[in-house]
Amino acid sequence: MKVTDFLAADMIVSDLKSDTKTGVLSELAFHLANHMSGVDGNVLKKVLEERELLASTAIGDGIAIPHGKLDAVGRLVGTLGRARAGIEFESIDGKPTHLVFMLVAPASSTGVHLKALARLSRLFRDADFRDRLMVAPDAPAMYQVIVEEDAKY
């Protein structure tokens, strides 16, 4: 599975404006909703917030992968946001989160959702990959980093 299977170039926010966990979830939810007909940003934000109540999706090393399921999406979709300064996301290592990859799957899906989470977890363990995303000047450059990484897979 390639990241570009579920992440489009216009789904990257290279400079998140919010500096809080709740704000970032909202910003990414509404970014996705603005690019997909039928998706309600408020509903998606609530789904993500409810998932975060179970346990933080910040996996450490500056990465968070908030995720949820929503009937309004017909297939797995993702949105990537970057917070250069870092935000408090209740990370397991206690460090600020810089890269937030939101995944949303149809309510009926299970396997593809889990495969995507596993792929992202493996990918983001690579410090060089994280560094290249952080220094990319804009969203198109960030997407190119992902395309190049996908080509290795």
Which residues are designated catalytic?
67
Beta bridge partners of 64: 58, 100
Q: Are 117 and 67 in contact (CB under 8 A)?
A: yes
Q: What are the CA-CA distances from residue 106 to residues 40, 109, 121 (Å)?
A: 14, 6, 20
Give the whole-angstrom CA distance, residue 86 versus residue 83: 5
Helix (H, G, I), strand (E, B) or coil at 68: strand
Six-digit token string for 150: 């996908």
Q: Could you tell me the maximum CA-CA distance found in the chain, to the nearest angstrom?
A: 37
Count of other CB atoms within 10 angstroms of residue 132: 17
Q: CA angle at residue 46 from 112 to 105, to 5 degrees?
A: 10
